[in-house]
Amino acid sequence: MLAKVVSSAVYGLDGYLVDVEVDISQGLPMFSVVGLPDLAVKESRDRVRGAMKNTGLNFPIKKITVNLAPADVKKEGSAFDLPMAIGILVAEGGLAPERVAPYAVVGELSLDGRVRPVRGALPMALAAKKHGMRGLILPRENAREAAIVEGLSVVGVDTLPQVIEFLDGRLLLAPTDAPREPTARSGHGADDFGDVKGQEHAKRALEVAAAGGHNVLLIGPPGSGKTMLARGMATILPRMSLEEALESTKIHSVMGLLSPETPLLSERPFQAPHHTISDAGLIGGGQIPRPGEVSLAHHGVLFLDELPEFKRNVLEVLRQPLELGRVTIARSSASVTYPAQFMLISAMNPCPCGYFTDRTRQCVCTPTQIQRYRSRVSGPLLDRIDIHLEVPAVPFKDLAQERAPEDSTTVRERVATARARQHDRYKTEGLFCNAQLRPRQLKRHCEIGDDSRRLIELAMTRLGLSARAYHRILKVARTIADLDAQDRLSPAHVSEAIQYRSLDRRVVH
């Protein structure tokens, strides 16, 4: 007999429905799975057989063929275990097909019949809703995540017998409710700006960066607070909208990084990979492409500490996501595009020993060593970083001060107000922040007077600023003006923006 159970899988970040077709016929006992299954899917045969036998269900000693349609798309993962078991029961007459038809079914089976969680529950639920399925049956650990999708009855289950009793009408399981508002994400360990003593100019620069979505490079000796400042960046960014939260949650869902307690992210992601990461780990990749750190940081912060220690080829692959806000991974079997709109916060020492700019400790590096160290970060990558900020060592008087510094909540309010101004200004142009301005749009939104123009000209000639710094200065000045609630750029805004290009004027002697 032939039976069909609807399941779901994920391609890239989007879910799609898979028909699990089960044919049971007379012949030499065997269990074959077709439809481009990967190794995990092929192993489903043993898991399904063991789960059915160990829960007292009859496993047919016949020729069993399972087809996963569409058959020309590679299937991966263990989410087809449960629909295969249900399909076998339907084909054997143990379940009525009409009771199974309204539901999409996903889940991994343990040998004792327990239903284990799977990756990508949210995009699977979205696919089920899109194709008109009435409900989705999946592991209880994934239920709150999938229940974010409105208009879909999400049923969380614990065991295979429980699923059978529910589909047979002998057990009533209430649909899972999930919060309709984003819940706080824990675990990225962000530091509040109020915990950072001193470094007021650095905090101001990071406030400007957060308000305009600008990338930042922090340069300073060890112990100056670069890492604390970077980790505090996530706490001053505006809270995510529901649309942004759903986009970020889908990426973390596909990677299996969501917990039952946080089905929907609200705090912006903060990713801080180690400098030994590979280019595939940073950008994404694999035989079946997976999102990398840049996509996990979507709508959040990507922090690269000790920037020159990263491999050159790893840093160079950052160019596309920094410029386009997305990553395209092409393989012979698939081509997948992942979103990657993030703020890059990077940090580095000024020299190999770290004390080139320190006033209290002597640098032991030669000019050649310093130049070689800095050349590990290429010019095209630096060109995509709007703010270069020197972070000197904190003097004792600042460390010992009793006055509490300004906390992140206060700074976040000013940032949110500036972002709101940008949203109103660019709502017809498809832009979200000043960092995304193109040269043509700079002329329209960053007009400067003669005083400001002379100031930039003077800076470029006397301070040795590079030509590529011109547009960056205008973008940052536009953000500073937004923080001041000003429509026109003044010389004061331009002057502050110029000082944030320290690496352009750096000359090693």
pLDDT of residue 198: 80
CB contact at 8 A, 221 and 393: yes
> CB neighbours (10 Å) of residue 192?
17
d(CA 133, CA 316): 44
pLDDT digits (tens, 9 = 90+) for 385-443: 999 999 988 876 666 676 667 888 999 999 999 999 999 999 888 888 999 888 888 88
pLDDT of residue 467: 67
Pairing of the two strands 301-304 and 343-348: parallel
pLDDT digits (tens, 9 = 90+) for 163-190: 999 999 999 999 998 755 654 444 444 5
Global confidence as pTM: 0.88
CB contact at 8 A, 406 and 199: no
Averaged pLDDT, 351-365: 88
The pLDDT-based confidence of 508 (bands split at 50, 70, 90) is very low
Spell out the domain ranges in the chain.
2-167, 193-436
CB contact at 8 A, 244 and 279: no
d(CA 334, CA 332): 6
CB contact at 8 A, 102 and 135: yes
Whether the predicted pLDDT of 491 surpasses 60? yes
Q: What topology does CATH give the domain 193-436? A: Rossmann fold (3.40.50)
Is CATH 3.30.230.10 correct for 2-167?
A: yes
d(CA 207, CA 312): 29
H or E element at residue 19: strand 14-25
pLDDT digits (tens, 9 = 90+) for 232-253: 998 999 988 888 999 999 999 9
d(CA 86, CA 409): 51
d(CA 88, CA 503): 66
CB contact at 8 A, 301 and 341: no
CB contact at 8 A, 122 and 149: yes
pLDDT digits (tens, 9 = 90+) for 128-170: 999 999 999 999 999 999 999 999 999 999 999 999 999 999 9
Of 207, 210, 184, the C-alpha closest to 269 is 184
